Each structure stands twice: as C-alpha cells, then as structure tokens.
Amino acid sequence: MKQGIFPGSFDPVTCGHLDLIERAAKLTEHLTVAVLYNAAKGGGFFTVEERVAMLEEVTSHLPNVNVECFSGLLVDYAQIKQADVIIRGVRSAKDLENEMPMAQINKQLGKGLDTIFLITAPQYAAISSSAVRELALFNRIGEQMVPNFVEIQIQNKIKIKG
Ligand code: PNS
C-alpha cells in the first residue's frame, strides 16, 4: 500500500490513536493523518490548528507520516491526495457498526477506495477523546491515556479556559 489516510477529529489525540497511527505507518509507504475541520461542529476543545500541532509533535518519530486538516467529504479529500486506502481504528463491535456504512459509501463514491480497520490494542479499548476531555475537567486523566505532551497542553488549555 502506498498512500494511506488516517482521518479523525483527534480532540485530542490519545495513546490509542497514536498506537494505531504507528501501526498504520508500518502498513503504508506514506500516511497522512487528517484532522477534520468541521465548521458546523463549532470550535471543539482544541482548535484544529492546535490538534494538528499536537499530532505533529507526537508523530515526529515517524518519518513517513505527515499531518494535515481537511474539510468536506473524506472521499473527495482522499481523491485529491491520491490515496490508496483509508485506515480507521475500531474499539468495539459498536464502532464497527458505525464505521461500516461510512466505509461502504466511501468505497462507492471513491470508485473502489477501500477502508482498512485496525483493532484497537486492548489497553486502549476504553479510551476516547471525549472521555479524556471529561476526565480533564476533574484533573483525573490516567496514565497511558494521552501522550505526556498532550496532557500538558490539556492542563494549559484548562488554565486558559478557567
Ligand atoms: O474521530 P472521528 O470523529 O470518529 O472521525 C470521524 C471522521 C472525521 C473520519 C468522519 O466524520 C469523516 O470522514 N467526516 C468527513 C465527512 C464525510 O466524509 N462523511 C462521511 C459520509 S459517509
């Protein structure tokens, strides 16, 4: 596989995401981590620019990975990138249920563009960005939930937001 895309919201990137990105990078010649810029969803906890910067920092040891943001349909972005494959992580059967229609529509609209699913490593199965955001408000982020760099950014953000 040549060009892969690993899309998501990454608000913020977790250790589970990072593990998946590292594994996806081994499967592809080049992997673009693509952060969805969704104007309709509002600002989020971190801005898209902050999410991209954190992802760049935590993936800096991966020479074949770059980070970008995109808006609109993933299938259109994948076409611009001339991607061979989309890679997504699944933590559970529920995740797969949600992912399947997206993968099928992307395959249809993307003229055969496939999605590959990687099963989340067991130690990260319960971790999500939304859980991290909630725990952060109570200063209860656990070990192995987010990279250290991200935890510092979360603490700084909470200080600023008050
Ligand atoms: O990290 P997330 O929030 O689970 O990522 C979801 C994402 C960004 C991969 C998905 O919402 C997406 O691809 N959005 C772009 C719009 C799009 O193409 N939607 C699919 C319609 S079938």
- Per the prediction, the chain carries an average pLDDT of 95
Q: Which ligand 1 atom lies nearest to the CA of residue 10?
A: 1
Ranking 32-36, 88-92, 134-138 by mean pLDDT, the lowest is 134-138
CB of 36 closer than 6 A to ligand 1? yes
CB of 100 closer than 6 A to ligand 1? no
Average pLDDT over residues 70-90: 97
pLDDT at 1 over 90: no
Is the pTM higher than 0.75? The answer reads yes
Q: Give me the catalytic one of 9, 60, 91, 130.
A: 91
CB of 7 closer than 6 A to ligand 1? yes
Provide the percentage of residues in the chain whose pLDDT is more than 70.
98
Average pLDDT over residues 18-27: 98
- The beta-strand segments (E) located in the chain are 3-8, 30-36, 65-70, 85-90, 114-119
Distance CA 111, CA 99 (A): 18
User: Is 94 a catalytic site residue?
Assistant: no
Q: Which ligand 1 atom lies nearest to the CA of residue 105?
A: 22
> What is the identity of the amino acid at 25?
A
- Asked if 132 and 141 count as a contact pair (C-beta separation under 8 A), the reply is yes
